Amino acid sequence: MTAINIDYNGLIPNNVELEKDARVQKALESWHPGYIAWWKEMGPDGFQDALVYLRTAVSVDNQGWAKFDYVRMPDYRWGILLANQEENRTIPFGEHFGKPAWQEVPGEYRAMLRRLIVIQGDTEPASVEQQRYLGKTAPSLYDLRNVFQVNVEEGRHLWAMVYLLQKYFGRDGREEAEELLRRRSGSQDAPRMLGAFNEATPDWLSFFMFTFFTDRDGKMQLESLAQSGFDPLSRTCRFMLTEEAHHMFVGETGVRRVIQRTCEAMKAAGIEDANDIAAVRALGVIDLPTLQKKLHLHYSLSLDLFGSEVSTNAANAFNSGIKGRFRETNIEDDHRLTSSTYPVLKFVDGAIKLVDEPALTALNMRLRDDYIADCARGIERWNQIFAQTGVQYRLELPHVAFHRHIGEFRDVHATPTGILIDAATFQREKDKWLPSPQDGEFIASLMKPEREPGKFANWISPPARGIDNKPGDFEYVKIAA
């Protein structure tokens, strides 16, 4: 392992010896003002002068990699941090399997690499834009701090991708870096590249579902890029995954705390029937069927991010050693996949069937399967709360054919259990399965800010423990007067 300490002296903290690379340093320094302007325009609305108890990476070692302190968000030290270089690393899959990992961009794969980096990079500022108004309705200072932590780290992930573009892709890399600051989530003229990143995040339940489901897609994408034969991309993604874990923690524990609070309120009020929505809502907590609908929505939008089940782009990215599988190096096979198959769920002759496809073209499906398994484990952890509190309810992942806009099922309609139905039936029934305008209004009615240290809005439980082991009444955000 070659470890380089993080240099915090210059404008851009880094562990890539930026000071020895005048061209890239200059490119990044000239990109910096545009980034700060973007942050002020599109980052958290209204809290730019608040002191936020944030973690900042100070090392890329697994132990003690971050420090916590009060920081004004525009002063956050967004840095360029790559995981340490593994000596003699080889390409772990594809037709170049076993050859030394590339330290420079292989010319023949330049366009493909650039595209993957740009797509990943585009998601990072998009989520900051989607979450920009949440601060106004945060259910506690603890939660307020968490959304800001996620936001500054997504900003850092943008830096991570921009560094790769500027260092390895010359002029078109610089142009792409500018475009990443120009597109806007939800914009008509210049939307973000992927569908789920143009959806609104209107309330805190959406935010928690987004960080559980959509950041988890991010994790899967980063895991497969962390396998890349292009070593700088691999090292970049490996460190991003360290930060990403917190985002999913925010999502999983956020939903958990909502469930906990609802179950406790139901028990206290003696409500047995979770489907008695009016009675549960009267308690000022989120009823479980509405939570299930939000889950349906965010899960189905996130499944779309995996692309078409059968894809020659995915095959090419693997074959060329650019994008591997989830935990590639732990899989026991030939890592080339030229003669194996993988079962793909397809829409054939009016029915949903599993069909064997060449494993190479089925890689999106495979990654999606790994993702679904990961989601399912999280759902089971949520379901334990019902058992613990004695409430009769279960959350379920919907069928993959439900509410899809990309891939095999984009042109069909299905119920959450995977029964195919026609468009008219779907229209008629969809408010039972997806959040309706009335559900949205009800949740919005609960979104009142709670800013007293140690206090939480009525619809959510306090966390089991504080960030950085802080006590329950710790002032995570000092809001400027």
Nearer to Fe ion, 154 or 309 (CB): 154
Nearer to Fe ion, 223 or 244 (CB): 244
Contact flag: residue 246 with Fe ion (CB under 5 A): no
Please tell me the distance from the alpha carbon of residue 115 to that of residue 169, in angstroms, as a whole number: 11
What is the nearest approach in angstroms of Fe ion to the Cβ of residue 118?
Answer: 14
Q: Which string of x and - marks every residue 112-131 that binds Fe ion (by CB under 5 A)?
A: ------------x-------
What is the nearest approach in angstroms of Fe ion to the Cβ of residue 242?
Answer: 11
Identity of residue 373: A
Contact flag: residue 217 with Fe ion (CB under 5 A): no
Please tell me the distance from the alpha carbon of residue 367 to that of residue 365, in angstroms, as a whole number: 5
Contact flag: residue 215 with Fe ion (CB under 5 A): yes
What is the nearest approach in angstroms of Fe ion to the Cβ of residue 149?
Answer: 10
Contact flag: residue 231 with Fe ion (CB under 5 A): no
Which stretch, 56-64, 97-105, 246-254, 304-312, contacts Fe ion (CB under 5 A)?
246-254
Nearer to Fe ion, 216 or 399 (CB): 216
What is the nearest approach in angstroms of Fe ion to the Cβ of residue 424?
Answer: 38
**If you write DSSP's letter for every residue of 25-47 in order, what string do you get?**
HHHHHHHHHHHHHHHHHHSSTT-
Quote the tokens at residue 18: 């930026």
What is the nearest approach in angstroms of Fe ion to the Cβ of residue 382?
Answer: 20
Q: Exactly one of 247, 293, 294, 298 binds Fe ion (CB under 5 A); which one?
A: 247
Which stretch, 84-92, 243-251, 300-308, 419-427, contacts Fe ion (CB under 5 A)?
243-251
H helix count then E strand count, the chain: 13, 7
Please tell me the number of Cα atoms within 13 Å of 42 on its side-chain side.
22
Please tell me the distance from the alpha carbon of residue 399 to that of residue 296, in angstroms, as a whole number: 9
Nearer to Fe ion, 321 or 378 (CB): 378
What is the nearest approach in angstroms of Fe ion to the Cβ of residue 144?
Answer: 17
Which stretch, 14-22, 106-114, 236-244, 261-269, contacts Fe ion (CB under 5 A)?
236-244
What is the nearest approach in angstroms of Fe ion to the Cβ of residue 436?
Answer: 28
Q: Which residues of 93-112 are buried (b: 16+ CB within 10 A; e: fewer)?
A: bbebeeeebbeebeeebeeb
What is the nearest approach in angstroms of Fe ion to the Cβ of residue 307?
Answer: 18
Please tell me the distance from the alpha carbon of residue 416 to that of residue 300, in angstroms, as a whole number: 10
Residues near 207 by beta carbon (within 8 Å), at least 6 away in sequence: 131, 134, 147, 201, 251, 254
Nearer to Fe ion, 157 or 413 (CB): 157
Please tell me the distance from the alpha carbon of residue 470 to that of residue 382, in angstroms, as a whole number: 25
Please tell me the distance from the alpha carbon of residue 174 to that of residue 165, in angstroms, as a whole number: 7
Matching residue, tokens 């099922």: 409
What is the nearest approach in angstroms of Fe ion to the Cβ of residue 179?
Answer: 18
Identity of residue 418: G
Nearer to Fe ion, 215 or 369 (CB): 215
Nearer to Fe ion, 65 or 442 (CB): 65
By CB under 5 A, the residues from 436 to 465 that bind Fe ion are none
Please tell me the distance from the alpha carbon of residue 326 to that of residue 330, in angstroms, as a whole number: 9
What is the nearest approach in angstroms of Fe ion to the Cβ of residue 434?
Answer: 24
Nearer to Fe ion, 184 or 247 (CB): 247
What is the nearest approach in angstroms of Fe ion to the Cβ of residue 273?
Answer: 37
Nearer to Fe ion, 138 or 220 (CB): 220
Contact flag: residue 157 with Fe ion (CB under 5 A): yes
Nearer to Fe ion, 223 or 450 (CB): 223
User: Are residues 181 and 128 in contact, defined by beta-carbon separation less than 8 angstroms?
Assistant: no
Nearer to Fe ion, 154 or 328 (CB): 154
Please tell me the distance from the alpha carbon of residue 288 to that of residue 266, in angstroms, as a whole number: 10
Q: Which string of x and - marks every residue 262-281 that binds Fe ion (by CB under 5 A)?
A: --------------------
User: Are residues 15 and 82 in contact, defined by beta-carbon separation less than 8 angstroms?
Assistant: yes
Q: What's the alpha-carbon Rg for the chain, to the nearest Å?
A: 23
Please tell me the distance from the alpha carbon of residue 365 to that of residue 139, in angstroms, as a whole number: 37
The footprint of Fe ion (CB under 5 A) covers 124, 154, 157, 215, 244, 247
